[in-house]
Structure 1
């Protein structure tokens, strides 16, 4: 953990650092490590090729070190994502009266300068956190910075107002009126920042909102104490005067905001994602590398337009109570409860994913699935599939969803809970999660996010160098023996387990709650993603419905 923190410090500072500076930085982060101990750890990092010594100046992180940091100990990253948000909030120093001080900024490289025109159009339409931005050149690349919405949380914290970011996601807008969050991920327990999960051109329609007032925009959500309501309003009003006006809606105490429930005594606030202008450029096909809440910038050094920006969205006067955000875990628990598969007679209900391919591609798709199962059966959730009738030109391909295992265990009197969905890195015999998103607080199956962002490499895994989708499930340690017996019985029908951990230990780098143990399953969508990787058009759908096990045939 200490070596990972040293790598983080070198990466964040982006300069050559000596043992003294690193020791001081570690102290700030709660690690008591003297200069001699730092040198010892740095020597180990040097030997591993993760850092390199630059004369007497100190060390710098290598490309291998950056790669290792990004993969890292994934559970540490899961916690680190939210702690990084808190760190950024604390370090906001902007004074709204003098315009002196720093704000948090998102940054993106831009390969085609024409994208800047699109970005500026969105700024002029008012779909941004702030009217201020930066554009500059570095190493023959053009970079664009926008103010991040978390800046507002930092300014509230600066004023002694508790602001707790809860979700980031996608907000539906109709005729310039905010309607409801349609997708969201909780900030806690994710290795990917929530808005990062949704920032690709297929998810947003910022340009449509800018032009016609209807579409999907990135947004985030936080709660503040009711006791600070007046102070929050005063602060937000003062921020509007200096060009920070990204607040979409502030609710009443204990009142749901745009479909998201709010605890009693708290007030919900929705703020537009600071990346909205950058998302618009992606929608037009421009190649951007967006990094959210990546760094700080001095607000008065940013470019100020010659117009006063106002968010074009209408005030939310009434909220449709039917527009409630649907959390995926609620759907999962209900489906798990319907699983009644009988291990002995191999009959009963299971949970199925159903994806769709063109009828002309059906035979080729099945061949791809067969190839994967023949080569790596453990990367499939069973050796079965089912063809489901759909439309005139498409057909459904059903695969067994890994959540079926939770249902089977539940039927046996074992409380099995899906905890994380993730990307499992395969390198030789080594396996470790490099991305994890908790099912808790998510409105969408995380695997669908990973697929949309192209984070998989199923065919590479056939040669033991790739990335598959997998999930982490948790069971209390007292039921471990019975769980192992049940899972072993399921192997006979091809429902294999990648790993069964011990109580209180990491499972492929994923940490399980105390007094519980974890087991890891391959994603039921791996065969479908393998089809996608062969450039066969496929509409991927997960956790779709309950089906009879005997409706499936063997590959």
Structure 2
């Protein structure tokens, strides 16, 4: 853990640091580690290739070290992501009286330099947190930094306003009027920042909003105490005068905002995602690698694109068309309707249903068959069904791994779906490199992973790939009974990748005390494999209850 903290310090400072500086910073973070001990730990990090010694100046983190920091210890990363936002907020020093100080910036590498023209043009529409940005070249790469909306949280905090970022997601806009959030992920218990999860060209339509006022934009949501509402509005107005804005709505005490419920005596505030200009470039076909809330920049030294450009959105509709739907509510309703009998192999199971063009059906089934025959353990049984035939498309149903939760529930066992993730497979080694909590999410994270092409199912056939998997916990008192049931349902192909103990790290996913965990392969692994073969797929997970008899065997 101390070595991970050293890597964090080197990564956050982004410069060469000596043992003395690192020791002091570790002490500030609650770790008592002298200079000699720091040198010892850094020597180990050097040997692992995670840091590099630069003469007598000290060490810098390597690209391998950054990878290990971001993905290696995933049980730490899911807590670190939110902590990182809090750390960034604390270090904001922007003064709205002088227009000077540090702001949080999103960083993106851009392969095509001419994408700058698209981004410049997009800024004219005002769909940004600020009209300031940085463009620069480093190591033969072009980078752009845009102001992150969390900067406003940092200013709130500096002025004594408690602010808690809750969600990042996608906001529907009609005729320039914000309507409601259609997707969101919680900032807590996730290894991938929420807006980063949704920044792909087929998720947003910021160009449509800019051009005709209707589409989907990235936005984030936080709450502050209702008693500070007037103070917050004053700060927002002062920030607007120096070019920091993007505030879409400030709510009322205890009233839901754009479909998201707000606790009593708190108010909700919605701010456009600082990545909106970068999304515009993505939608135009440019390849960007977006990193949210990645670093800091001195606001007074950033380049101004256009002056006096305001957010073009109108006031929010008073009542959202629909409240945000949380995926856990859907999950608990579905697992409550599973009545699969483990003795007769009959009854209802949960299905995922994804859609392809009819012309690809034979190829798709062959891919399913190949995956099952070569890596049965990565599938939830060898069953599929063709459903919902319409026009030129047809649905392929696979059995969802949450069916196991439903079976255990029928036997009086309290199951908690905790994380959806990406499990890295390398020979006999397995570890989660991404985890997103089901809690606070409106969508099954596996759908996001597939959209962002974060899997490598075909690579896993040769034990060097990435599969979809999920983590579930059960009170330890029912472990023996659960194990007996899990042993029986193996006959149906409903198998787990690992059955754990209490207070354990399962493939680096932390299991809490008094519970044990089990890891199951994602029921969408076969569908992800189809997509990897170039077949377009409209992925739908955790879709509906289906009778097991309606499935065919491969």
* 1:92/1:155 contact within 8 Å kept: yes
Give the 5 Å matches for 1:258-337.
258-316=258-316, 318-320=318-320, 322-337=321-336
The equivalent of 2:119 in structure 1 is 119
* 1:4/1:72 contact within 8 Å kept: no
The equivalent of 1:459 in structure 2 is 458
Give the 5 Å matches for 1:197-208.
197-208=197-208
Query: Distance between the aligned counterparts of 2:216 and 2:81, measured in 1?
Result: 25
CA shift for structure 1 position 164: 0.4
SS in 1 for 2:144: strand
The equivalent of 2:502 in structure 1 is 503
Query: Distance between the aligned counterparts of 2:91 and 2:51, measured in 1?
Result: 27
Give the 5 Å matches for 1:245-256.
245-256=245-256
Residue by residue, what CA displacement relative to the aligned partner does 1:173-201 show, whole Å, maximum 9, x if unpaired? 00000000000000000000000000111
SS in 1 for 2:342: coil
CA shift for structure 1 position 477: 0.4
The equivalent of 1:550 in structure 2 is 549
**Does the alignment pair 1:46 with 2:46?**
yes
Gap change, CA 1:474 and 1:174, over 3 Å in 2 = same
Query: Distance between the aligned counterparts of 1:35 and 1:166, measured in 2?
Result: 38
CA shift for structure 1 position 317: 5.0
Residue by residue, what CA displacement relative to the aligned partner does 1:441-500 show, whole Å, maximum 9, x if unpaired? 000000000001100000111111100000000100000000111111110111110001
Query: Distance between the aligned counterparts of 2:33 and 2:293, measured in 1?
Result: 28
* 1:179/1:258 contact within 8 Å kept: yes
SS in 2 for 1:420: strand
Normalised by the length of structure 2, the TM-score is 0.98
CA shift for structure 1 position 359: 1.8
Query: Distance between the aligned counterparts of 1:276 and 1:267, measured in 2?
Result: 24
Query: Distance between the aligned counterparts of 1:221 and 1:53, measured in 2?
Result: 41
The equivalent of 1:392 in structure 2 is 391
Normalised by the length of structure 1, the TM-score is 0.98
* 2:178/2:317 contact within 8 Å kept: no
SS in 1 for 2:217: strand
Which 10-residue stretch deviates more, 127-136 or 250-259? 127-136
Query: Distance between the aligned counterparts of 1:126 and 1:501, measured in 2?
Result: 51
Give the 5 Å matches for 1:387-536.
387-536=386-535
* 2:19/2:38 contact within 8 Å kept: yes
CA shift for structure 1 position 43: 2.2
Which 10-residue stretch deviates more, 463-472 or 44-53? 44-53
SS in 2 for 1:156: helix
Query: Distance between the aligned counterparts of 1:334 and 1:124, measured in 2?
Result: 46
Query: Distance between the aligned counterparts of 1:118 and 1:482, measured in 2?
Result: 59
Query: Distance between the aligned counterparts of 2:117 and 2:57, measured in 1?
Result: 43
The equivalent of 2:213 in structure 1 is 213
CA shift for structure 1 position 12: 2.6
CA RMSD of aligned residues (A): 1.2
CA shift for structure 1 position 242: 0.9
Give the 5 Å matches for 1:28-427.
28-316=28-316, 318-320=318-320, 322-427=321-426
* 1:208/1:214 contact within 8 Å kept: yes
* 2:179/2:317 contact within 8 Å kept: no
* 1:167/1:220 contact within 8 Å kept: yes
Residue by residue, what CA displacement relative to the aligned partner does 1:413-436 show, whole Å, maximum 9, x if unpaired? 101111000000001111110000
Size of the aligned set, in residue pairs, is 554
* 1:123/1:277 contact within 8 Å kept: yes
SS in 2 for 1:532: helix
Query: Distance between the aligned counterparts of 1:140 and 1:496, measured in 2?
Result: 48
SS in 1 for 2:502: coil
In structure 1, the gaps of 5 or more residues are none
SS in 2 for 1:22: helix
In structure 2, the gaps of 5 or more residues are none
Residue by residue, what CA displacement relative to the aligned partner does 1:345-364 show, whole Å, maximum 9, x if unpaired? 11000000011122221111
Gap change, CA 1:350 and 1:240, over 3 Å in 2 = same
CA shift for structure 1 position 5: 1.3
Where does structure 1 differ by over 3 angstroms across 4 or more consecutive aligned residues?
none
The equivalent of 1:14 in structure 2 is 14
Which 10-residue stretch deviates more, 257-266 or 26-35? 26-35
Residue by residue, what CA displacement relative to the aligned partner does 1:283-332 show, whole Å, maximum 9, x if unpaired? 00011111111111111111124520211000125113x42001111001
